[in-house]
């Protein structure tokens, strides 16, 4: 249990630090003064100042943060800096004083870093380990007793290569051809489990039990492990990351709808407690499974942060874009209230999901079902 907690904290810290590193490096690139880059959350344990930036270790070992000069809790900082007696040079290096497009890139950098991390992990897995994918063979997985398939001689593990001299590459193709010839004799070319080819004749039934099918056989696609060369893996990894991101976004939408319409947490949704438990499960499944889980968490962090929710990066970006469109700074008090309300709502949702996780954990139910 202790090992799981430590690994969970390490993973969460790495994901958040990667996120904050994006803000840090892009801010430095645009000449924005970075006051502090912290590992963990305050209170501060100790810090070392290098140049103008304090690099700190904080007591709460979860994640990290970047403190930009001229960025208050609302993300503008314009009022507080203007009220202070600061040099023109420092004022020009304040976050709020930078052009809209530069501030937008600084805010987006964290999300981009999480997405890039996910793509990198997925690409490495695709190249080094490979991915399970459907092949082009149709495998017999079950033969019903006294069915046409059994009478014809089909056995579990046989590969159906062709039907009536038509090559078969998918279960759907075999089903379509079979249903088009009910009551008619069909010729199957089969590769047995002993690597011998046989020609079998079977007549699919016109009338059959609904849970058996015309032949009385269950079939599936064969599974193969496909590896991609290193130069192709990043492109496939990016495509996979985008597909997973869409699924995450759709799932978040369903979570919000159910929370506000039914006041309940959907099954399959986990908070910090559930994620910690899942970490232990993936540790047991091995390093590739754990890395895949980390990439999924990184994508979740990216998607959640890009949403236009006050208090998150997407919310800050929203106000920056409003300023860019209207060419007027948003009232700092309005933005501060918006971020405060957004944070309160987020904390409430996290509390509800965490409570749900704890109740399920106490009741002995697994928080999420993981196929093994």
> Who wins on pLDDT, 54 or 365?
54
**CA geometry: angle at 68 spanning 67 and 73, to 5°?**
70
HEC string for the chain: CHHHHHHHHHHHHHHHHHHHHHHHHHHHHCCCCEEEEEEEEEEEEEEEEECCEEEEEEEEEEEEEEEECCCCCCCCCHHHHHHCCCCHHHHHCCHHHCCHHHHHHHHHHHHHHHHHHHHHHHHHHHHHCCEEEEEEEEEEEEECCCCHHHHHCCCCCCEEEEECCEECCCHHHHHHHHHCCCCCCEEEEEECCCCCEEEEEECCCCCCCCCCCCCCEEEEEEEEEECCCCCCHHHHHHHHHHHHHHHHHHHHHHHHHHHHHCCCCCCCCCCHHHHHHHHHHHHHHCHHHHHHHHHHHHHHHHHHHHCCCCCCHHHHHHHHHHHHHHCCCCCHHHHHHHHHHHHHHHHHHHHHHHHHHHHHHHCCCCCCCCCC
**CATH assignment, 132-226:** 2.30.42.10
In contact, 330 and 75? CB cutoff 8 Å: no
Instruction: Decide: pTM greater than 0.85.
Output: no
**Average of per-residue pLDDT across 179-183:** 91
Cα–Cα distance measured from residue 137 to residue 162, given in angstroms and rounded to the nearest whole number: 10
Cα–Cα distance measured from residue 219 to residue 179, given in angstroms and rounded to the nearest whole number: 15
Tens-digit pLDDT profile for residues 106-118: 999 999 999 999 9
> Who wins on pLDDT, 336 or 245?
245
| pLDDT score for 85 | 62
Residue 366: pLDDT band by 50, 70, 90 thresholds?
low
In contact, 114 and 299? CB cutoff 8 Å: yes
CB atoms within 10 A of CB 141: 13
Q: How far is CA 14 from CA 2, 179, 284, 303, in A?
A: 18, 54, 20, 17
Q: Please, what is the average pLDDT of the chain? A: 85
Structure tokens at 42: 């305050």
Q: Is the pLDDT of residue 132 over 80?
A: no
| pLDDT score for 348 | 83
Range name among 100-109, 166-175, 269-278 with the lowest pLDDT average: 269-278
| pLDDT score for 78 | 44
CA atoms within 13 Å, Cβ hemisphere of 71: 24
Q: Is the pLDDT of residue 83 over 70?
A: no
Cα–Cα distance measured from residue 357 to residue 277, given in angstroms and rounded to the nearest whole number: 10
| pLDDT score for 265 | 61
Range name among 91-95, 178-182, 353-357, 364-368 with the lowest pLDDT average: 364-368
- Partners of 189 in the β-ladder: 162, 199
| pLDDT score for 371 | 44
**20 given a catalytic annotation:** yes
| pLDDT score for 367 | 55
Percent of the residues in the chain that have a pLDDT greater than 70, as a whole number: 90
Cα–Cα distance measured from residue 6 to residue 301, given in angstroms and rounded to the nearest whole number: 20
Domain ranges, ordered by start, for the chain: 2-129+230-362, 132-226
Range name among 23-27, 120-124, 180-184 with the lowest pLDDT average: 180-184
> Who wins on pLDDT, 152 or 79?
152
Residue 91: pLDDT band by 50, 70, 90 thresholds?
confident
Q: Is the pLDDT of residue 258 over 80?
A: no
List the catalytic residue out of 20, 71, 277, 323.
20
| pLDDT score for 267 | 60
């Amino acid at each position: 249990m202790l090992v799981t907690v430590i690994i969970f904290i390490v993973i969460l810290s790495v994901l958040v630090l990667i996120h904050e590193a994006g803000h840090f490096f892009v801010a430095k690139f645009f000449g924005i003064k970075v006051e502090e880059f912290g590992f963990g959350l305050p209170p501060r344990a100790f810090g070392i100042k290098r140049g103008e930036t304090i690099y700190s270790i904080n007591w709460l070992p979860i994640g990290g943060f970047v403190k930009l000069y001229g960025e208050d809790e609302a993300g503008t900082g314009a009022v507080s800096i203007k009220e202070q007696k600061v040099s023109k040079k420092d004022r020009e290096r304040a976050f709020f004083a930078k052009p809209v497009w530069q501030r937008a890139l600084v805010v987006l950098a964290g999300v981009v870093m999480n997405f890039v991390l996910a793509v990198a992990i997925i690409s490495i897995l695709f190249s080094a380990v490979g991915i399970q994918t459907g092949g082009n063979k149709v495998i017999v997985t079950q033969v019903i007793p006294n069915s046409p398939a059994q009478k014809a001689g089909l056995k579990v593990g046989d590969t159906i290569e062709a039907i009536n001299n038509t090559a078969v590459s998918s279960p759907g193709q075999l089903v379509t051809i079979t249903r088009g010839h009910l009551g008619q004799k069909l010729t199957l070319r089969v590769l047995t489990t002993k690597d011998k080819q046989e020609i079998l004749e079977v007549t699919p039934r016109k009338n059959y039990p609904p849970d058996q099918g015309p032949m009385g056989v269950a079939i599936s696609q064969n599974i193969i492990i496909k590896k991609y060369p290193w130069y192709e893996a990043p492109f496939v990894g990016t495509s996979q990351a985008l597909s997973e991101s869409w699924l995450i976004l759709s799932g978040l939408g369903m979570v919000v709808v159910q929370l506000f319409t039914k006041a309940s947490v959907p099954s399959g949704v986990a908070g910090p407690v559930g994620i910690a438990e899942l970490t232990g499960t993936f540790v047991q499944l091995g390093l590739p499974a754990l890395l895949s889980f980390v990439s999924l968490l990184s994508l979740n962090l990216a998607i959640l942060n890009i949403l236009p929710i006050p208090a998150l990066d997407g919310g800050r970006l929203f106000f920056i874009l409003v300023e860019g469109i209207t060419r007027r700074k948003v009232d700092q008090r309005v933005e501060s209230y918006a971020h405060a309300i957004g944070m309160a709502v987020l904390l409430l949702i996290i509390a509800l999901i965490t409570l749900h996780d704890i109740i399920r954990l106490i009741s002995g139910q697994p928080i999420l079902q993981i196929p093994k």
